[in-house]
A = this chain, B = another copy of it.
Amino acid sequence: MDGSDLIGIREMRAAFGVTARALRHYEAKGLIAPLRVGEKRLYGRRDRARLTLILRGRRFGFGLEEIAELLALYDLGDGQATQLSLTLARAQERRAALEEQRADLDAVIAELDAQIETVRDMLARAPQETSPTAAAN
């Protein structure tokens, strides 16, 4: 009851849409640990479950190191309240950070709009005094 249906790196790429390089990188960082048959890597259920979490974490903006922490938690407490609440805490911190990013982004867009307006005005106010340089290809 634990065949774990192993798959190769190729199938992993296809299944998750990641490059082999990324997979090896995650492995080098200790986030996943596929079996080895000679030189070749074989990924099992566990690896796939972890990769899912890794990719989710990346989308949320977690760094690989922080993701490693969370994965370690999942190993220790298997669905236990302690790890869940810590995960929740991390997620909320991230959410706050993302919210801040969004605010900054909005501000930057607004500022950029203002700048664009200014440039447009300048173009509208003096669009004819162009030197020979402007006509050249």
The reply on A18 being an interface residue by CB < 8 A is no
Is A119 located at the chain interface by the 8 A CB criterion?
yes
Check if B102 sits within 8 Å of A59, measured CB to CB. Answer: no
Query: For the complex, is A66 an interface residue (Cβ under 8 Å from B)?
Result: no
Asked whether, in the complex, the Cβ of A91 is within 8 Å of the Cβ of B111, the reply is: no
| This chain's copy number in the assembly | 2
Given contacts A116-B88, A119-B88, A120-B88, contact A108 B77 (CB under 8 A): no
Residue from A85, A128, A129 whose CB has the most chain B CB atoms within 10 Å: A85
Q: Which residues of A contact B (CB under 8 A)?
A: 56, 59-61, 76-77, 79-82, 84-85, 87-88, 91-92, 94-95, 98-99, 101-102, 105-106, 108-109, 111-113, 115-116, 119-120, 122-123, 126-131, 133-134
Can you list 23 A-B pairs with a CB-CB distance of less than 8 A? A56-B111, A56-B115, A60-B108, A60-B111, A60-B115, A76-B133, A77-B134, A79-B122, A79-B126, A80-B133, A80-B134, A81-B123, A81-B129, A81-B134, A84-B119, A84-B123, A88-B116, A88-B120, A91-B115, A95-B112, A95-B116, A98-B112, A105-B105
